[in-house]
Structure 1
Amino acid sequence: MSIRVTNQADVIPLRPLPAVAPALPREPLWRDLVGEVLRRERQAQGRTLKDVAEAARISMPYLSEVERGLKEASSEVLAAAAQALGLNLADVLALAGERLVSLAAARSRPRSPGPSAVGVHRTVRSTGPAGPVGAMRPSGPMGGVLLAA
């Protein structure tokens, strides 16, 4: 007999293995959402990372890390990047907020919608600074959400 054959044994666990729960998609991080907005806007304008970084007076590697959600940028850096893209900080935050709301809605939505949920469009009566009293607005990902900067 060889050593290899004699060293084989059945392993019996002392405790039962925990049941693996189905993994839910992770909660989106704010830095991922803001970076996604900055990258999407930069690419929509056909601009390079180098061009935007120079206009914002931040390093190109740092801007790249912010766009990829690897760095949590300060409000000063975000404002500079936004301005370099012709936006203001409120625009960037509003776009990131819209994305967060749509992702949260997708996470809470049932996997298979029933037939009554298809094609339904609700409206919300506005009663504040978002519109005149009595005005009807569609409720979508941003319906009723007000971001203040």
Structure 2
Amino acid sequence: MSPHPQDEARVIPLRPGNTPSRTGATPSAGTPGRPLPDAPAEPREPLWRDLVGDTLRRERRAQERTLKDVAEAARISMPYLSEVERGRKEASSEVLAAAARALGLGLPDLLSLAQDELARRAVRSRPVRGRAVPGGGRYDGLCLAA
């Protein structure tokens, strides 16, 4: 027999914070319900939209430009660009390319900077496993050579 009743939906939160109950309400809302089991104490994987947004914001601030200035140059709304920078919106490649161009970058440059940030965060948050490889790197898997 399943531990979850058939008539209740299981809600998995995307961001830490108030943990919703199995009925979908947060405990602070006062709705009775069983809370979900606590998530493991592992660091949260960074989301791509957060990385890209952080990169856009960092580049804009490094150029000492306002949100309004970059939004106008990119021809996107200022509130939308703000949401993208805060990782609240998953921007299309067209929007990202326009924002990158407004900052004097190409889309590959923006994505490369975001990928560098992802690699930096992954190294910092992940326990080191696997064996050393030439050049000081590490790997965690099987390598087949022909």
Structure 1 residue ranges, 4+ long, deviating more than 6 angstroms after superposition: none
- 1:65 aligned onto 2:65: no
Cα drift, residue 24 of structure 1? 1.6
In structure 2, the residue matched to 1:42 is 60
**Where do 1:1-149 residues align within 5 Å?**
23-109=41-127, 124=135
1:20–1:61: structure 2 CA closer, same or farther, 3 Å change rule? closer
- Partners of 2:105 and 2:63 lie apart in 1 by 12
1:22–1:83: structure 2 CA closer, same or farther, 3 Å change rule? same
| Rg (Cα) greater in structure | 1
Cα drift, residue 20 of structure 1? 5.7
> Alignment length, in residue pairs?
99
Cα drift, residue 25 of structure 1? 1.7
Structure 2, gaps ≥5 residues long: 1-36, 138-146
What TM-score, normalized by structure 2, do the two folds share? 0.61
- Partners of 1:78 and 1:90 lie apart in 2 by 10
Cα drift, residue 109 of structure 1? 3.4
1:55-89 CA distance string (max 9 Å, x none) = 00000000000000000000000000000000000
Q: Secondary structure at the match of 2:43?
A: coil
Paired residue type of 1:32: D
Paired residue type of 1:85: L
In structure 1, the residue matched to 2:28 is none
- Partners of 2:38 and 2:72 lie apart in 1 by 48
Structure 1, gaps ≥5 residues long: 1-18, 111-121, 125-137, 140-149
- Partners of 2:74 and 2:52 lie apart in 1 by 16
Root mean square deviation, CA, Å? 2.4
